[in-house]
Chain A
């Protein structure tokens, strides 16, 4: 007779693969500033911060799910949808609504499940392959990664980074230190006042339409994507724009000049409003446009 091991306070919701969809409604006490680790392969995950010192999980486990692991250990809480190793039937996604103490930090991993986080104040790390990632509220910092899922962060003043391979990245109303990187996805930064922004793509387009803090820095780099920077006319910044074979269009100041009469390269160095912030835009073959907002 094999001993059955219980991990910590683990309580399996279902001991055999779920043949039909099954509803979930469970809670565990949790530290006000602990870490919640969530894993769900497919379906959806919606995480909302609340005032209770508890993690509550509601929703439905998809057909074919083996079980939900929901356990706590110290100040870490684990919520994991467990799928059978070999599935002979199609396994359905699970849709989870998870409430966590507002001060929690999050570590979320999905494959194709979409993830949405709101009102969580700790540090959040979200990883997906093809699922979308949406973040609202004001986490202490965010770190979102996907392959083809789109990422949207609407976080008032949080620093962080968003990385995709082909998914798009939309950073709305961010401030502080943000970095976005994609190979072929488009990067869009909008609204807010940023102090340090780093945007990098290989072929994705980059679009920045926000304000720069007084000593802020904006770095936009691409190989063949287009770069469009829309800045308030009153921006005080030093600009350094170069392209190897693309075009440069400038509404904020002088026309770009050729770097040499033999090559296609163009460059542009100028200052507006007496300088202060720093804008660097580089492309290999993509076009770069500087526009007045």
Chain B
């Protein structure tokens, strides 16, 4: 047997999965070939090192809070609300009205956007002057978004039976995409509160989610 052949069979030899005939041939070659013996020894050393790797590695921070938060949100989407289907129409209309107000509020509070007339002009507020005013506005936008979201998810849940499974799947998947994006951005903003670009992206994400849920809540049935 030549070195190239042994090289091809070395993995299985070391793993003990070679059929007897080949195994004997390889062992014989190794008996007289220093180069291949070195490769074998190194492979065995590598496997021993791999087996000796620590079974577990601690993450750099506690991941449980984020996991619990996602599970709580998913609970709402997957319907532990249990609204009776008969009440969905009223719920949808109420939610839609609440959201219309919410969106107007969010647009007003949104960092860097045009304010409709009425808000007292403040010096230097055309672009966010610093962390404080912007983060206060953002916090209120977030609270509005969270409240609207819960109502709309409940409305969506109530009409689960009147939407096609494909549509529901698309909706749920995309709500999760936005939720994930919101979480990442909120986490980044928490680590870097002075960042001036994330608030705008966050508000866009809030609006996208609210728009999505509102449209779905009022979709024609049997979608």
Question: For residue B167, which residues in chain A have a CB less than 8 angstroms away from its CB?
Answer: 129-130, 147-148
Against A, the Cβ 8 Å flags (1 = close, 0 = not) of B146-173 are 0000000000000000001011001101
Check: A221 CB closer than 8 A to any chain B CB: yes
Residues A130 and B174 in contact, CB atoms below 8 Å apart:
no
Against A, the Cβ 8 Å flags (1 = close, 0 = not) of B186-223 are 00100010010110110011001001100110011011
- Shortest C-beta distance, B135 to chain A (Å), equals 16
Check: B181 CB closer than 8 A to any chain A CB: yes
Selected from B174, B184, B198, the residue in CB contact (under 8 A) with A184 is: B174
Residues B195 and A166 in contact, CB atoms below 8 Å apart:
no
Check: A265 CB closer than 8 A to any chain B CB: yes
Q: Across the two chains, which residue of chain A brings its CB closest to B200?
A: A282
Residues B178 and A183 in contact, CB atoms below 8 Å apart:
yes
Check: B177 CB closer than 8 A to any chain A CB: yes
Selected from B188, B192, B198, B208, the residue in CB contact (under 8 A) with A200 is: B208
Check: A244 CB closer than 8 A to any chain B CB: yes
Whether A202 contacts B181 in the complex (CB less than 8 A), given A147-B167, A284-B198, comes out as yes
Contact size range, B: 20 to 34
Residues B212 and A165 in contact, CB atoms below 8 Å apart:
yes
Against B, the Cβ 8 Å flags (1 = close, 0 = not) of A66-82 are 00000000000000000
Selected from A130, A147, A181, A263, the residue in CB contact (under 8 A) with B192 is: A263
Check: A41 CB closer than 8 A to any chain B CB: yes
Check: A203 CB closer than 8 A to any chain B CB: yes
Residues A111 and B222 in contact, CB atoms below 8 Å apart:
yes
Residues B222 and A165 in contact, CB atoms below 8 Å apart:
no
Question: For residue B164, which residues in chain A have a CB less than 8 angstroms away from its CB?
Answer: 129-130
Whether A203 contacts B181 in the complex (CB less than 8 A), given A148-B166, A165-B171, A244-B195, comes out as yes
- Shortest C-beta distance, B216 to chain A (Å), equals 7
Residue of B174, B188, B198 ringed by the most chain A CB atoms within 10 A: B174
Check: B103 CB closer than 8 A to any chain A CB: no
Residues B177 and A41 in contact, CB atoms below 8 Å apart:
no
Residues A223 and B201 in contact, CB atoms below 8 Å apart:
yes
Q: Across the two chains, which residue of chain B brings its CB closest to A223?
A: B181
Q: Across the two chains, which residue of chain B brings its CB closest to A83?
A: B222
- Shortest C-beta distance, A88 to chain B (Å), equals 14
- In angstroms, Cα B204 to Cα A145, docked, is 18
Check: A242 CB closer than 8 A to any chain B CB: yes
Whether A183 contacts B201 in the complex (CB less than 8 A), given A147-B171, A166-B170, A223-B185, comes out as no
Residues A284 and B201 in contact, CB atoms below 8 Å apart:
yes
Q: Across the two chains, which residue of chain A brings its CB closest to B197?
A: A242
Whether A282 contacts B201 in the complex (CB less than 8 A), given A145-B215, A183-B208, comes out as yes
Residue of A112, A223, A284 ringed by the most chain B CB atoms within 10 A: A223
Q: Across the two chains, which residue of chain B brings its CB closest to A224?
A: B181
Residues A183 and B204 in contact, CB atoms below 8 Å apart:
no
Selected from B192, B205, B219, B222, the residue in CB contact (under 8 A) with A223 is: B205
Check: A48 CB closer than 8 A to any chain B CB: no
- In angstroms, Cα B137 to Cα A136, docked, is 42
Against B, the Cβ 8 Å flags (1 = close, 0 = not) of A202-221 are 11000000000000000001
For the A-B complex with A111-B222, A242-B197 known, give 10 more contacts whose Cβ atoms are closer than 8 Å.
Answer: A109-B220, A129-B164, A129-B220, A165-B170, A166-B174, A183-B174, A183-B177, A184-B177, A200-B204, A244-B197
What 7 A-B pairs are tightest by C-beta distance, nearest first?
A223-B181, A183-B174, A129-B223, A148-B170, A165-B174, A242-B197, A111-B223
